[in-house]
Chain A
Amino acid sequence: MSWFTKAKKPLEAIKELRDKKKDIPAGLWRKCDRCKEIVYITELERNFNVCPKCDQHHRLSARRRIELLIDDGTFVEKDAALHSLDPLKFKDSKKYKDRLVSSQKKTGLKDGIITGWGKMNGRPVDIAAMDFDFMGGSMGSVVGEKITRAMERGATNRRPVIVVACSGGARMQEGTLSLMQMAKTSSAAGLLAEKKIPYISVLADPTSGGVTASFAMLGDVIIAEPGALICFAGPRVIAQTIRETLPEGFQRSEFLLEHGFVDMVTHRLEMKASISTLLDYMCHGLDAGAGR
């Protein structure tokens, strides 16, 4: 028995260190939730948070997402200063204002999304990337406004639009105003469709609720990352409603592919090349100056 306890101790120490990982800068390791292998954080980060051992796609910040998809040095951020006014003066166990401040500190963003434009393998595109670390990537007035503006910029400048969704849904703390962002962003997607501007929607883990049920499902082409949870109602809500266990793989990317709701499931590290190839086709009319 003493043999076991001895062996356990260093592991415990590692665990403790891992739990403290947020305070410790690079150079340490992290255990992959899926394969349970220990990987160096720097290696994981270099791999855009895809586990080098098992290919599990861990969450990626909006900033890193832009780095992944946009050519170095070409990104011009827009509307970075937009922030919420807390229209309902919402307070639950914590004030919404305080939640905003702590998310702002955590992410360095004013709200849960980065928008702007830049080049993707040389082609100018408008892009929006949601950040799950900011209140679960939830969509309130600011997120809705920034997506809408990104789409409007695409329509005005005749540039394709790429939106990377990663969100728990509409932001409760802005009540019905958040709900209305679903209509606003969907209407903007309608504008892109009308102007025949390509719109590619990328779905990362998780994409759910009011985000799935609006702009995220309206891309000309919809691409999901492998294994992402993509749903309207979350699995827990459904399990409660029907009081049954859910089928294996339910609401994951591959399930949506099988049911006809996404065009493809693409590895994160192949995402940029894949979108570029698609845009070569989809911009055929734009490049030829059609509709100008």
Chain B
Amino acid sequence: MAVTCLDFEESIVELETKIEELREKSRREGVDFSSETKKLHKKVNRLRHDVFKKLTSWQRARLARHPSRPYTLDYIQFMTTDFVELHGDRAFGDCHSIVGGFAKIDGKPVMLIGSQKGRQTKDKIYRNFGMAHPEGYRKALRLMKMAEKFHLPVVTLLDTPGAYPGVGAEERGQSEAIARNLMEMSSIGTPIVSVVIGEGGSGGALALGVGNRVLMLEHSIYSVISPEGCAAILWNSCDKVEEAATALQLTAQDLIRLNVIDEIIKEPLGGAHRAPERAAHILRRVLRRHLAELGEMSSEELISHRRGKIRRMGDIAMA
């Protein structure tokens, strides 16, 4: 699956290719290379551990945007059954950067909504690179309200560079759409679990992210601005992305320390893109646990729990 590999992944991928070649050779020539492949396996595992143990913030940001990383529809495929996609905001159109609909997780019905990026060029354009228009946020809100009406929990998957900055988006009220979602999501009487699966790009991600639980995959990021944008504004230089990524404290590991999120979800070693099915399986198990816990709460409890959680966000001194 890994078509593209990032610079820090290169040494790992190189070794893996070597192992593959040895295997191929032993199959072809009937020679036993098992001791060599075993050694190489050990070596590649150690290397993977070493590389992934000390990832920088910028490296994580690049993993979060990895072109092979599983997207919402991949998770839907691998972790749900009976998905029925629903379309449109009932006002202007259907946004392809956000998908949503009914789905079953372990046989239990949920409303699943997530940002969607495209894989190939054509698909990328169709999904507008995961950058939603106001219609996307309005569709998401419509589906959340429907979930509330029919007593279904909501699962949202966050993965966007940000809300789309364009003329049409502004004309049709990008800000209003995001603002309304933030307000309405805080008072929806059904469980909401939000998971950052890749890029949590500012307000465009948050507009799906007001949950009773906010979780992040191990190599995902969640930020007020992209490292590139931050570097351009505060450092006046595009070369400072690494510094900006570190300063912004946008990794899951940073954000659990800052009490912004509730839990980090482990990814398969090497990142979710190395084993998408396995990543989805882990996510499914985590979701099942949270949904079961939240399922015990009444509508009123869920709303006051969510509001209380949002209310505590921030860090201030009184005098």
Task: Tell whether A52 is near chain B: CB-to-CB under 8 Å.
Answer: no
Bound-complex Cα distance A277 to B52 (A) = 62
Which of A8-16, A38-46, A62-70, A140-148 binds B? A140-148
- The interface residues of chain B lying within 8 Å CB-to-CB of A148 are 311
- The interface residues of chain A lying within 8 Å CB-to-CB of B244 are 92
Partner of A183, one of B175, B176, B222, B313: B313
Cβ–Cβ contact A85 & B310, under 8 A: no
- The interface residues of chain A lying within 8 Å CB-to-CB of B233 are 172
Distance in angstroms from A154 CB to nearest chain B CB is 15
Cβ–Cβ contact A238 & B166, under 8 A: yes
Q: Which of B178-222 contact A (CB under 8 A)?
A: 178-180, 182-184, 186-187, 202-203, 206-207, 209-210, 222
Cβ–Cβ contact A186 & B250, under 8 A: no
Partner of B182, one of A171, A214, A247: A214
Which of A29-37, A121-129, A187-195, A266-274 binds B? A187-195
Cβ–Cβ contact A213 & B179, under 8 A: yes
How many chain B residues touch A (Cβ–Cβ < 8 Å)?
Answer: 55
Task: Tell whether B275 is near chain A: CB-to-CB under 8 Å.
Answer: no
Task: Tell whether A212 is near chain B: CB-to-CB under 8 Å.
Answer: yes
Task: Tell whether A282 is near chain B: CB-to-CB under 8 Å.
Answer: no
- The interface residues of chain A lying within 8 Å CB-to-CB of B225 are 170, 172
Distance in angstroms from A187 CB to nearest chain B CB is 4
Which residue on chain A has the smallest CB distance to residue B210?
Answer: A183
Cβ–Cβ contact A232 & B166, under 8 A: no
Which residue on chain A has the smallest CB distance to residue B178?
Answer: A213
Distance in angstroms from A124 CB to nearest chain B CB is 24
Distance in angstroms from B76 CB to nearest chain A CB is 25
Distance in angstroms from A213 CB to nearest chain B CB is 4
A-B CB contacts (within 8 Å), total count:
193
Cβ–Cβ contact A210 & B224, under 8 A: yes
Task: Tell whether B247 is near chain A: CB-to-CB under 8 Å.
Answer: yes
Cβ–Cβ contact A261 & B173, under 8 A: yes
Partner of B187, one of A87, A91, A194: A194
- Greatest chain A CB density within 10 A among B180, B236, B314 is at B314
Task: Tell whether B7 is near chain A: CB-to-CB under 8 Å.
Answer: no
- Greatest chain A CB density within 10 A among B166, B173, B179, B236 is at B179
Task: Tell whether A175 is near chain B: CB-to-CB under 8 Å.
Answer: yes
Partner of A217, one of B179, B250, B310: B179
Task: Tell whether B317 is near chain A: CB-to-CB under 8 Å.
Answer: yes
- Greatest chain B CB density within 10 A among A88, A140, A180, A238 is at A180
Task: Tell whether B19 is near chain A: CB-to-CB under 8 Å.
Answer: no
Cβ–Cβ contact A232 & B174, under 8 A: yes
Bound-complex Cα distance A237 to B313 (A) = 28
- The interface residues of chain A lying within 8 Å CB-to-CB of B202 are 170, 179, 210
Interface 1/0 per residue, B141-167 and A, CB below 8 Å: 000000000000000000000010111
Contacts known (A84-B317, A148-B311, A179-B203); A242 close to B167, Cβ less than 8 A: yes
Task: Tell whether B36 is near chain A: CB-to-CB under 8 Å.
Answer: no
Cβ–Cβ contact B316 & A213, under 8 A: no
Contacts known (A144-B314, A181-B313); A176 close to B173, Cβ less than 8 A: no
Cβ–Cβ contact A176 & B260, under 8 A: yes
Task: Tell whether A101 is near chain B: CB-to-CB under 8 Å.
Answer: no
Cβ–Cβ contact A209 & B317, under 8 A: no
Bound-complex Cα distance A231 to B244 (A) = 25
Distance in angstroms from B182 CB to nearest chain A CB is 4
- A-B pairs with lowest CB-CB distance, top 6: A233-B165, A141-B314, A186-B182, A180-B313, A187-B186, A92-B234
Which residues of chain B have a CB within 8 Å of any CB of chain A?
A: 163, 165-167, 169-176, 178-180, 182-184, 186-187, 202-203, 206-207, 209-210, 222-225, 230, 233-236, 240, 243-244, 247-250, 255, 258, 260, 307, 310-311, 313-319
Which residues of chain A have a CB within 8 Å of any CB of chain B?
A: 81-85, 87-88, 90-93, 140-142, 144-145, 148, 170-172, 174-184, 186-187, 189-191, 193-194, 209-210, 212-218, 231-233, 237-238, 241-242, 246-247, 250-251, 259-261
Given contacts A92-B243, A172-B233, 5 further A-B contacts (CB under 8 A): A142-B314, A170-B224, A184-B311, A187-B307, A250-B170
